[in-house]
């Protein structure tokens, strides 16, 4: 009997369970435990169709899903000193790095790419959680600074997809120094008057939430993402109290004002491209947007209630207005270029531009909020473009 239960039974069970769930064909959802055909799961950008659980995503998939036509150029991140402290716990830090590299095929957790998003050149930074928990060390800090530099050089917006388990403790104080470094990089983006959007993904914890992950002009989050500084288990053990339902999850943070909008992964690209079009005042993109909205409003008006009609009538006028703005935008760009040369005007210009992100946040967040009822949101765009004051 013991031979049957201790030897034959486990072996049979293993054989059957292996047959049922080969890794490459099926994915077991971590949210509901349902088995999903891997092809369907990947096509749905690692989102479970049954319970909407958003699985973790690597940088390549992220860039592919983000940029127009999945076309982009990855930027080389600067090399950093490896293992500066000659750190060793149960394992040498160099061994840990080697393992993570062979597992992911990447040099470190920070990745930067440039491509077009809704036709507008955009720089994206992605933290790879699969590389030592996305922990922020010298290399990740350097990659983020490189992303900000690339955005400033191109006068492009920056989108950061954050996923981190904390600081890279094997680099000690050098890891903590990345907090002020990345914060300065964000400040430089703001001085340049360029939009910086943060997408908080599961999990966003530790050092990044004490620096660049919480400094965006707009904060989006993926559904169910864990976002916090210390994890819930640590907090629970420290304060010895039961934590509220959904504590530190994206939806909870949205309700408490830390996140502007929780966006499903399938909607992320469209939401980001709309935000960027609004925040960069791109004339062509705005006109496209107005046309899309006009078409949507017409469809809605044709389909139903009469109160949608004024919005539809409004649209062509707005499209003309957006077109009329195009030359003005070019004028401003010229002015900015000239002012780069002349120091005095530069300072004045920057003071004006510096105000922009905050104002943009207020302006840009509204249409995004109003998104489900498109025709309601359309009225918001009657507001004058926010950067007028700077002109
Ligand atoms: Zn599920």
- For every residue of 15-38, DSSP letters joined together read HHHHHH--TTTEEE-TTT--EEEH
- 3-state SS assignment for residue 203: strand
pLDDT of residue 6: 74
Give the DSSP per-residue string, 223-284.
TT-BB-SS-HHHHHHHHTSPPPTTTTBHHHHHHTTS-SEE--HHHHHHHHHHHHHHHHT-HH
Question: Ligand 1 centre from 131 Cα, in Å?
Answer: 24
pLDDT of residue 305: 57
Tell whether 29 is in a known binding site: yes
Instruction: Inform me whether the pLDDT recorded for 206 exceeds 60.
Output: yes
Question: Ligand 1 centre from 265 Cα, in Å?
Answer: 14
> CA–CA separation, 352 vs 68, rounded Å?
32
Confidence of residue 288 (pLDDT cuts 50, 70, 90): low
Give the DSSP per-residue string, 63-78.
HHHHSGGG-EEEEPPP
Tell whether 48 is in a known binding site: yes
Lowest mean pLDDT across 12-16, 55-59, 278-282, 328-332: 328-332
Q: What is the mean pLDDT of residues 282-290?
A: 64
pLDDT tens figures, 227-243: 999 988 889 999 999 99
pLDDT of residue 83: 94
Instruction: Inform me whether the pLDDT recorded for 119 exceeds 90.
Output: yes
Instruction: Inform me whether the pLDDT recorded for 161 exceeds 70.
Output: yes
**Residues in CB range of 248: below 8 A, 6 or more apart:** 226, 227, 228, 231, 232
Q: How many CB atoms lie within 10 A of CB 40?
A: 12
Question: Ligand 1 centre from 372 Cα, in Å?
Answer: 24
Instruction: Inform me whether the pLDDT recorded for 88 exceeds 80.
Output: yes
Question: Ligand 1 centre from 163 Cα, in Å?
Answer: 21
In degrees and rounded to multiples of 5, residue 290 shows phi and psi of -60, -40
pLDDT of residue 35: 94
Q: For the whole prediction, is pTM greater than 0.75? A: no
> CA–CA separation, 291 vs 323, rounded Å?
11
Lowest mean pLDDT across 92-96, 100-104, 290-294, 347-351: 347-351
CATH numbers and ranges of domains, the chain: 16-53 (no CATH), 59-276 (3.90.226.10), 281-390 (no CATH)
Tell me what the pLDDT averaged over the chain comes to.
80
Which residues surround the ion ligand 1 when the cut-off is CB under 5 Å?
A: 29, 31-32, 48, 50-51, 53
Question: Ligand 1 centre from 50 Cα, in Å?
Answer: 5
Lowest mean pLDDT across 70-74, 243-247, 328-332: 328-332
């Amino acid at each position: 009997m013991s031979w049957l239960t201790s030897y034959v039974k486990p072996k049979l069970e293993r054989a059957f369970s292996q047959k049922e769930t080969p890794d490459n064909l099926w994915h077991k959802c971590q949210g509901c435990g349902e088995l999903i055909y891997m092809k369907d799961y990947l096509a749905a950008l690692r989102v479970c169709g049954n319970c909407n659980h958003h699985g973790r995503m690597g940088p390549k998939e992220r860039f592919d899903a983000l940029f127009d036509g999945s076309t982009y150029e990855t930027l080389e991140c600067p090399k950093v000193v490896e293992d500066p402290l000659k750190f060793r716990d149960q394992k040498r830090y160099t061994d840990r790095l080697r393992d993570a590299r062979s597992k992911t095929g990447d040099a470190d957790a920070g990745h930067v790419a440039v491509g077009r998003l809704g036709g507008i050149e955009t720089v994206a930074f992605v933290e790879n959680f699969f590389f030592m928990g996305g922990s922020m060390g010298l290399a990740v800090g350097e990659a983020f600074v490189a992303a900000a530099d690339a955005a400033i050089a191109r006068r492009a917006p920056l989108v950061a997809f954050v996923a981190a388990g904390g600081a890279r403790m094997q680099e000690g104080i050098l890891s903590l120094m990345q907090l002020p470094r990345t914060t300065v990089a964000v400040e430089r983006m703001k001085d340049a008057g360029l939009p910086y959007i943060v997408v908080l993904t599961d999990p966003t914890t530790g050092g990044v939430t004490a620096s660049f992950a919480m400094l965006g002009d707009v904060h989006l989050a993926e559904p169910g993402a864990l976002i916090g500084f210390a994890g819930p288990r640590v907090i629970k053990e420290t304060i010895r109290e039961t934590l509220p339902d959904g504590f530190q999850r994206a939806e909870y943070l949205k309700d408490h004002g830390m996140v502007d909008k929780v966006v499903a992964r399938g909607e992320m690209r469209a939401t980001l491209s709309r935000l960027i079009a609004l925040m960069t005042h791109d004339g062509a993109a705005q006109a496209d947007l107005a046309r899309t909205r006009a078409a949507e409003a017409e469809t809605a008006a044709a389909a139903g209630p009469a109160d949608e009609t004024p919005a539809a009538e409004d649209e062509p006028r707005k499209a003309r207005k957006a077109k009329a703005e195009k030359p003005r935008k070019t004028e401003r760009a010229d002015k900015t270029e000239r002012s780069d040369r002349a120091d005095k005007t530069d300072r004045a210009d920057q003071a004006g531009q510096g105000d922009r992100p905050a104002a943009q946040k207020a302006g840009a967040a509204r249409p995004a909020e109003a998104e489900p009822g498109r025709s309601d949101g359309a009225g918001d765009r009657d507001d004058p473009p926010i950067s007028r004051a700077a002109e």
